[in-house]
Amino acid sequence: MILSLAVLVAVALVDQATKLWIVAVFAPFEVVPVIPGLFNLTRLTNTGAAFGLLASAPPAFARLLFAGLAVVALAVLGWMAWRCRRDHWLVRLGLGAVAGGALGNLIDRVRVGAVIDFLDFYLGPYHWPAFNLADSAITVGVGCLLTAEFFFRRQPDG
C-alpha cells in the first residue's frame, strides 16, 4: 500500500508542477518545437475525456461526469491497492501510477474546469492527440498491470 501511495503522490505532484509551469510560461495554443518534425510543447485544454471524447458536451455536465468518474476510479484503485498482496510490487506500482494520473487530471478539472495538455507528438501532418504527464502515468500504470497479469501471474496449485 505504501508503494502505491508514494507513486500516487509523486505522479500527482510532478503532473501538477509541469502543468503550472506550462500555464505560467506558455500562452494558450502557443507551440514551441522541441524536436522539429516529431515533438512540440504546447498549451491546450481538454474539456472532454481521452482524445477529446465528449468535448462538445455541456461544460457543467462534462466537468461533473468526469470528476465523478475520477473519484469512483480513485476509490476502486485504493481498494485494489489495499487488497493487493505485499509481494505484488508491480501491481502496486501500476495502481499508484494510474491513481496518480487520475488524481492529477481530477485536480485540473476541479481547479480550471478542463485538463491541461502540453505534450504534442507528431510525424509530418499526423499528430497524436496532445496529452500530459498524468495521461502518461496512466498508460505506464496500465502497462505495469498488464505485465504483472500476463507475465508474473502465479499459477494455481494442483
* Residue 157 known to be catalytic: no
Query: The C-alpha cell of 23 is what?
Result: 500555464
List the catalytic residue out of 15, 108, 120, 135.
Answer: 135
* Residue 97 contacts residue 135 (beta carbons within 8 Å): no
List the catalytic residue out of 15, 108, 117, 120.
Answer: 117
Query: The C-alpha cell of 70 is what?
Result: 475520477
* Residue 117 known to be catalytic: yes
Query: The C-alpha cell of 130 is what?
Result: 496532445
Query: The C-alpha cell of 157 is what?
Result: 496449485
Q: Please compute, for residue 127, the number of CA atoms within 13 A of its CA located in the half-sphere on the CB side.
A: 12
Catalytic residues, which ones? 117, 135
